[in-house]
Structure 1
């Protein structure tokens, strides 16, 4: 009996040890998963002390709610002392550029923002730069291209040649404008030109406010053309030729932010699965075209393949540099 009791006690002790090991392993796994989820979702906060955040905006700009939320969270984080905004983008949708511009402006109202431009920072890519306290570009950077474009194909001639006709019922004469199945009417053209002009006026006002320039001066520069960094410097569209090194020196001299302060990336949001993202982008693009009759403009230097690889669907008017 004593032997059986000893065996039972040993078995209980072993089970107790295994239980604690299992609890510890589960806790460790949970901690790793939480950390991975935080990193994957774009959350900053790995650097515990005072630091700068670096926001990279590459490629075509579209609506990105998670990125806007990250910027706002960084603005409210007392450990974040400023932002380095690195731009290499030809622009994108007007609404996407405007929302990103406004988020950066909210951050800039609390903490300093400096911009470094890569090969191109044009149209909406320039729009998002103007709230910054200081803008740097290289001599060869292409920037500016202040303007808005809305394009719609007219396939009515082609459809007529192949014997296809389309009946279209609309609630009003301007509801079906623009349409891919019939030419744009004079009234529709005037209406859409008014939309483009209003969006352009908003763009000009953003530049005038951010760059502290007279609005008439901005309009004189805003004929849609791009400028090199060297030209933009002379026109007042940027502040200096340089990159992140020069931006850090400026922050140290003018905002008392040491050059040795750590910089943490403001990570992009966790992406969807490849197939799910592609299907969602395709459905979004086709749905928008079917509902509005308008297709987004794509510059000749930016192919559909590039936009597909980025999972980008642009809707409506765009502010995009066309080479």
Structure 2
């Protein structure tokens, strides 16, 4: 019996050591892959190779401040391989500050390399701010452009709280501190302060349209009243330069900028985050499974797709086309 007990103890010790070294090996492998992936991510010509090419980048979804995207565009501007850039845009806009940041980064890129914009689905509001950074805007006939304007939205639940018999108390340094407040009716002073904020950003937006698109007078008033237009309408209103697709953009680069139209077009990832790489997800799952947390690994795998969707968590002034949902 004593020998059997000793053998059982030795076996358990051996199993624990084996598990430890398995986990350690997986962790070392994950760390190595992470370092290699990080090094590849930081290469300014990731995905380009050594030959001359046309870079293709995409601006999709809601626009917010994104320093990683700015840094990626700066690397693209320094790339020796990329001779020109085609920017695909399909965005309803986003925060005014985020749209300004993106526009500035794209303008810096356009100063270094010929840059043409292709509107796939829409370039509305902040999306159009981004589009104006290019030297030439191409859209499909039924693309949506425009929505030139700024808004400030906030919920007000004062009536609901009153019905429930709930009242929010507060002490603040001045009447306009933390105004507007969704827990109480908006005062005329608070509404006027927000209106001034919106007006200032709107004037900035209109000024950009005037400068970048060469629109003024009655036409400027017409295109900046907040409505959206189709690509066909955009041609007449000078919001769009031509109708077409990426092929049209490459033809323009060849004619206007002398770019070889036979150059290969390569995707430039603006967000090559190391955590987005599937082999790292697999490695992390292996580690969790090795230490007996397979259930957690499966849960993370299942929720990973959910986390990949953009979260509409926008604060402050918005340059966003947001049509009402159908009933």
State the TM-score, normalized to the length of structure 2: 0.75
Aligned match of 1:44: 45
Structure 2 Cα separation of the partners of residues 320 and 243 of structure 1: 24
Aligned match of 1:118: 120
Structure 1 Cα separation of the partners of residues 275 and 112 of structure 2: 36
CA deviations 1:183-219 (Å, max 9, x no partner) are 1110111110000011111111112222122366323
Aligned match of 1:193: 195
Aligned match of 1:135: 137
Stretch of structure 1 that moved more, 222-231 or 251-260:
251-260
CA contact (8 A) 1:93 1:315 kept: yes
Whether 1:313 and 2:313 are equivalent positions in the alignment is: yes
Which consecutive unaligned segments of at least 5 residues does structure 1 have?
1-27, 275-305
Q: Secondary structure of 1:59's match? A: strand
Q: Secondary structure of 1:100's match? A: helix
CA contact (8 A) 2:156 2:185 kept: yes
Structure 1 Cα separation of the partners of residues 233 and 94 of structure 2: 23
Q: 1:307 to 1:176 in 2, by over 3 A?
A: farther
Whether 1:67 and 2:69 are equivalent positions in the alignment is: yes
Q: 1:85 to 1:36 in 2, by over 3 A?
A: same
Structure 2 Cα separation of the partners of residues 35 and 191 of structure 1: 51
Aligned match of 2:163: 161
Structure 2 Cα separation of the partners of residues 257 and 135 of structure 1: 17
Structure 1 Cα separation of the partners of residues 79 and 197 of structure 2: 38
Which consecutive unaligned segments of at least 5 residues does structure 2 have?
1-28, 277-305
Aligned match of 1:22: none
CA deviations 1:140-190 (Å, max 9, x no partner) are 001101001111111111111111111111111111211111111101111
Stretch of structure 1 that moved more, 310-319 or 235-244:
310-319
Q: 1:170 to 1:33 in 2, by over 3 A?
A: closer
Q: Secondary structure of 1:169's match? A: coil
Q: Secondary structure of 2:112's match? A: coil
Whether 1:322 and 2:295 are equivalent positions in the alignment is: no
Structure 2 counterpart of 1:246, from 236, 245, 248: 248
What does 1:269-284 align with in structure 2 at a 5 Å threshold?
Answer: 269-271=271-273
Structure 2 Cα separation of the partners of residues 110 and 216 of structure 1: 34
Q: 1:32 to 1:161 in 2, by over 3 A?
A: closer
Question: What is the aligned length?
Answer: 265
Structure 2 Cα separation of the partners of residues 117 and 54 of structure 1: 13
Aligned match of 1:288: none
CA deviations 1:290-315 (Å, max 9, x no partner) are xxxxxxxxxxxxxxxx9982144211
CA contact (8 A) 1:42 1:267 kept: no
CA contact (8 A) 2:139 2:244 kept: yes
Q: 1:33 to 1:43 in 2, by over 3 A?
A: farther
